[in-house]
Amino acid sequence: MTCCKRYPSRLSITWFRNRLAGFANSGFRQTALAINPVLKLSLAWIPIKMLYFCDWLRAARLTAAVVTIGVAAVSFSLADEWKSGIEWQTPPVVTPGEGMAPPSDAIVLFDGTDLSEWDGAQNWIVRDGYAQVNGGSITSKQHFGDCQLHIEWATPEKVEGHGQGRGNSGVFFMGRYELQVLDSFENPTYVDGQAGSLYKTKPPLVNASRKPGEWQVYDAVFTAPRFDEQGNLLRPGYLTAFHNGVLVQNHTEILGDTKWDVPPTYSPHGERGPFSLQDHGNPMRFRNIWVREIPELTAKRPAK
């Protein structure tokens, strides 16, 4: 026949961009449809229909094809979504800080002006927005359990000593689990005692230290261990930490108190504890210390 042009038209189902998709080829264009994933295993490629039509039938058949595709698309999309049925609480709104500034829900432990949030700090030096170690370790007045910590620190610009004697301090969660602070810039020491280590438990994944005197940052997520009423360990603690934005501890299991002279061993304690900043004899500086408590999300589970 030469009275009209002929256009192939077909609907097929095949893989497309890592999904199973239906292709309606009317001769003018192709339309991709999302297909119920249930069909993925059972359908690979199914040519459904091959139509040929000429000019005067084109409009009617194209209309029918579009209607068919539309119905298929609606039914496929309705079948595609899965919902848990869990009614989660609406996450509260938190305004992020600019740069390193604390977010709106953070508890600020040191903003550069005073150490009123700390015990034992009467001899520490506060000036130019930082606090400097001087005369003993300090302990936060507020206690925390699961939390996110931000703290900035700097080792002395003038290098003195070596190994553990150079730029040593530490951030102790619950007063007993130490994220080591040390000048680890070209300063070899035992690796589970260098900066970013969970002291005597696990070395950092990498050494992300800046040069002596430069400000450095720890951002950490701490999960407190749980004990039952008899003091038995129900669940260990965990630590995730970033050093200058680089991951150094990835959900590291805490094995117990991090001491220099004995292996890590748990001693039962309460659900909350203070932060401690260590005086190890070096004039370390700290600034911009804030904490966010990590709540348990609540939800209504669907009745079974």
Which residues in this chain contact Mg ion in the complex, by CB under 5 A? Answer: 168, 170, 278
- Cβ pair 32, 21 in contact under 8 A: yes
* Closer of 171 and 255 to Mg ion (Cβ): 171
* Closer of 172 and 238 to Mg ion (Cβ): 172
Closest approach, Cβ 177 to Mg ion, in A, equals: 12
Closest approach, Cβ 114 to Mg ion, in A, equals: 24
Residue given tokens 């000429």 in the structure block: 54
CA angle 264, 267, 271 (to 5 degrees): 115
Cα–Cα distance measured from residue 196 to residue 179, given in angstroms and rounded to the nearest whole number? 6
* Closer of 10 and 280 to Mg ion (Cβ): 280
Residue given tokens 């070395």 in the structure block: 203
Closest approach, Cβ 235 to Mg ion, in A, equals: 26
Closest approach, Cβ 258 to Mg ion, in A, equals: 9
State the DSSP string of 99-147. TTSPPTT-EEEE-SS--TTEES-TT-EEETTEEE--SS-EEEEEEESSE
* Closer of 33 and 239 to Mg ion (Cβ): 239
Closest approach, Cβ 167 to Mg ion, in A, equals: 10
What's phi and psi for 124, nearest 5 deg? -70, 150
* Closer of 189 and 223 to Mg ion (Cβ): 189
Closest-by-Cβ residue to Mg ion is 170
- Cα–Cα distances in angstroms (integers) from residue 66 to residues 13, 53, 58, in the given order: 16, 15, 12
Two tokens at 296? 């348990």
Closest approach, Cβ 202 to Mg ion, in A, equals: 15
Closest approach, Cβ 280 to Mg ion, in A, equals: 5
* Closer of 12 and 139 to Mg ion (Cβ): 139
Write the CB contacts of 57 (distance below 8 Å, at least 6 apart in sequence): none
Cα–Cα distance measured from residue 45 to residue 250, given in angstroms and rounded to the nearest whole number? 44
* Closer of 249 and 278 to Mg ion (Cβ): 278
Where does the chain have alpha helices with state H? 55-80
Cα–Cα distance measured from residue 290 to residue 103, given in angstroms and rounded to the nearest whole number? 9
